[in-house]
Structure 1
Amino acid sequence: MLRRILALGFACAAASSFGQLLTDIDPNWKEVDAPPPPAVRTQGLIPLETSASIALRFGVDPASVSVGADGVVRYVVVASSASGTVNAMYEGLRCNTAEVKVYARHNPDSGWVPVRGAEWQPLQDRPNSRHSLVVARTGACMGRGISGTASDIVRALRSPAEARFDRR
């Protein structure tokens, strides 16, 4: 009997979540103009644990994290190599659609360069940028919603995995 009650509860929750997901995706959604990328900082970054690259270390600049009026979480992620080369990307996440967009790339020679024709890409389809998925899963998104304010996201990114969504 208990198994049936639990199964029914899980089924109702899943159906409710799916219905909520469908209503959360607004067909009239419009992206606001992204603010220009901030200066690249290499100090005080929040490290990201990615298994995609042994040669690169990734970190998010906590001062760059913002949540736009359009529901996009924007941030700068810095990639540094063992040789000392530093590159950065100014990205946006849409938690409700599980998509990411790169607005600009920074390299030491040219500074910030806007990405021409940047499009929203599914998070799962970017094998060379697992860092975006890590940002989404470890701080920016909670399911298909934003984890809260920019400071909530920074706090979650800094927290140990087992304490990330403890709101006490």
Structure 2
Amino acid sequence: MISFSGRHIRAGLLLTAVCLALSACKTTDKGLPKDEEQAADTPTGDGQPASSWLNPFADKPFKEGATTLPALPRDEDLIPFSVNGGSSFRFAVDPKSISVGDDNVVRFTVVITSSGGGRNVTYEGIRCDAFERRLYATLPKGATEWVPNRGEDRDMWRRMETGVRNAYSATLATDYFCEGRTVAGKADKLIRDLKAYAPSR
């Protein structure tokens, strides 16, 4: 005959109570309460499970800020810069037009002069993080105000190319405006760097 002491009975009752409590708090295989698991598995519009977890190291979507066209450039203010490739053109930037936006876009006016005296004046932007450029406006010969870019590419950012003839935007990015994928500094530093390495006129 097997006998149980009071101590054994109390231990058995305690073990039974714990087992009942655990079974009432049953969770799914994912370790989430059932209602939370269903919410996590609810698909989004693209058919993928929704998730509230955000990766702090993921690239943030680019959102461009508003752009205001600068004053027209004056020849006496221009800072020349060299472009690799033995170009016959002369290149210069208007320092008063250089800005670094909250969106980390470097905006500037560039003046390109041919050996025959023809000029091409544009207002552009550079994204260091994507190594892309965008054309905002041009200043045709004889014009007294900027002409906004109304072409099909007016809202497009285009990849810059290095090692090609007259790649002035890529030169500005790699030599003056960018340090890797980040902007090299505020506008005053970019201007100082341009002046420090400006070729003689």
Question: TM-score of the superposition, structure 2-length normalised?
Answer: 0.62
Measured after TM superposition, the shift of residue 79 of structure 1 is 0.7
Q: 1:24 to 1:60 in 2, by over 3 A?
A: farther
Q: Distance in 2 between matches of 1:24 and 1:106?
A: 39
1:37 aligns with 2:70: yes
Q: Distance in 1 between matches of 2:179 and 2:185?
A: 9
Q: Distance in 2 between matches of 1:24 and 1:49?
A: 36
Equivalent of 2:197 in 157, 160, 164: 160
| Residue correspondence of structure 1 range 128-147 to structure 2 within 5 A | 130-147=167-184
Q: 1:84 to 1:70 in 2, by over 3 A?
A: same
- The aligned counterpart of 1:9 is none
Q: Distance in 2 between matches of 1:112 and 1:128?
A: 26
Q: Is the 8 A contact 1:25 1:97 kept in 2?
A: no
SS for the counterpart of 1:40 is: coil
Q: Distance in 1 between matches of 2:123 and 2:88?
A: 21
Number of equivalent positions: 139
Equivalent of 2:59 in 9, 19, 25: 25
Equivalent position amino acid for 2:161 in 1: Q
- The aligned counterpart of 1:114 is 148
Q: Distance in 1 between matches of 2:59 and 2:71?
A: 29
Q: Is the 8 A contact 2:162 2:171 kept in 1?
A: no
Q: Distance in 1 between matches of 2:163 and 2:140?
A: 20
Q: Distance in 2 between matches of 1:87 and 1:24?
A: 39
| Residue correspondence of structure 1 range 69-80 to structure 2 within 5 A | 69-80=102-113
Q: Quick check: 93-102 or 52-61, which moved more?
A: 52-61
1:124 aligns with 2:158: no
Measured after TM superposition, the shift of residue 109 of structure 1 is 3.2
Could you say which structure has the higher helix fraction?
1
**Alignment gaps of 5+ in structure 1:** 1-21, 162-168
The CA deviation string for residues 89-126 of structure 1, in whole angstroms up to 9 with x for no partner, is 10101111111101011121344221124210011289
Measured after TM superposition, the shift of residue 65 of structure 1 is 0.4
Equivalent position amino acid for 2:146 in 1: W
Q: 1:85 to 1:53 in 2, by over 3 A?
A: farther
Q: Is the 8 A contact 1:37 1:104 kept in 2?
A: no
| Residue correspondence of structure 1 range 51-70 to structure 2 within 5 A | 51-52=84-85, 54-70=87-103
- The aligned counterpart of 1:16 is none
Q: 1:108 to 1:151 in 2, by over 3 A?
A: same
Rg larger for? 2
1:104 aligns with 2:141: no
Q: Quick check: 133-142 or 111-120, which moved more?
A: 111-120
Could you say which structure has the higher strand fraction?
1
